[in-house]
Amino acid sequence: MEPIDKNLFGKDLICTQDWAFEDLLKVLDLAEEMKANRFEHPYSNSLRNRTFFMFFYNPSVRTRQSFECAATELGGHAQFLEPKAMRLKTATTAGETIEDAAKVMSRYAVGIGIRILEDKISAYGEGDALLKEYAYWADIPIVNMADDKFHPCQGLADIMGLRRNLGKDLRKKRLLMVWGHGALARSWCSVQENLLISSRFGMDVTLAYPEGYDLDPEVIEAVRENCRKNNADFSTIHDPYEGYQDADVVYCRNWMSPQAYRNGEFDKQGEIEKALKYPEWICDAQKMKLTRGGKGLFIHPMPVDRGHEVTDEVASGPNSIIYEVAENRLHVQKAIMALTMGIRQK
């Protein structure tokens, strides 16, 4: 038996920016095939008798559900793990090192997914660094199920939805990534991943947010460079209305400020109180009328903070594709798992 794709077999997925554009297309094309032939695809047994570990520092709804469904539909099993149920070394407690844990887990499973977000770390970047350390020691692929910097499965699901609704050629389609008034103090991962992958696909990008809500400058520079390579436009504005003009896609999401960590702790309450001072940054029907033909798509990685980030009229409206994108998580994750862990079954 051989891997489904020798080039991608065993490859980690920490961020889509790390993968060749052609390999991202492989994932999307296979995901579309799997969506069209959900229970009858030739790779439906590619994980037969194999286990995928799901390591959750943070809880989830769609991530756990979609990965468990994905493993099952590929003929395998997804095992749920929590750090509190494992004797792992931390900054304040003795326990097993990442090296030892990764090497042992590599002998049990065919892949490891890890989810670690803002409130489980003491400074921005620590979650992403933890995934990279697991990737260094593990002999099996590490899949980022959302860390504090990136969320590759969500980014691929976003693009899959845009390609179906706007056409496979997304070049020069206009994306508005806009900060949303909100009460959840969200990390940067979904937003930064979308900006990176959208710019790889040649979209014109407008990034809009209030003063003081800058994202990771290295990530934004990478987005700017992606746009330059694709002859696409990139702009940053601080106006809650301007960016909607002629946008093809609106992605409205609350995100934390760069000052979210104080004295080694995530100041969630302080972030919420600060964000609620900007009610003019809610995405509503009047703003969506400014989009291209008044029919701009609304996307969001969910969960949606309705009444803060976006009104119900928009989130549940005819141009919202939030549920389609949520479903796409299942299909892109099946494709990722098949390509990086799957075996051709005879």
- 80 & 180 share domain: no
Q: Give the residue numbers spanning the domain of 305.
A: 157-322
The average pLDDT across 108-133 equals 96
pLDDT at position 53, please? 98
The average pLDDT across 223-240 equals 98
Residue 90 pLDDT grade (very low, low, confident, very high; cuts 50, 70, 90): low
Q: 174-192 pLDDT, tens per residue?
A: 999 999 998 889 999 999 9
Q: 5-30 pLDDT, tens per residue?
A: 999 999 999 999 999 999 999 999 99
- 202 & 142 share domain: no
- 145 & 20 share domain: yes
Element containing residue 60 per DSSP (H, E): none
- 275 & 185 share domain: yes
Tokens of 319: 């141009």
Whether 181 is in a domain gets the answer yes
The pTM score is 0.97
pLDDT at position 345, please? 82
User: What is the total count of domains within the chain?
Assistant: 2
- 161 & 139 share domain: no
β pairing state of 142-144 and 174-179: unpaired
Residue showing tokens 């004797």: 87
Whether 273 is in a domain gets the answer yes
Whether 346 is in a domain gets the answer no
Whether 3 is in a domain gets the answer no
Whether 10 is in a domain gets the answer no
CB 196 within 8 A of CB 15: yes
What is the SS3 assignment for 29-54?
HHHHHHHHCCCCCCCCCCCCCCEEEE
- 161 & 183 share domain: yes
Whether 170 is in a domain gets the answer yes
- 170 & 300 share domain: yes
Cα–Cα distance, 131 to 316 (Å, whole number): 35
Whether 318 is in a domain gets the answer yes
List all residues 6 or more positions away from 175 whose beta carbon is below 8 Å from its beta carbon. Answer: 194, 198, 203, 204, 205, 206, 247, 248, 249, 251
- pLDDT(93) > 70: no
Residue 94 pLDDT grade (very low, low, confident, very high; cuts 50, 70, 90): low
What angle is formed at CA 67 by the lines to CA 82 and CA 121, rounded to 5 degrees? 40
Please report, for the domain that includes residue 233, its CATH number. Answer: 3.40.50.1370
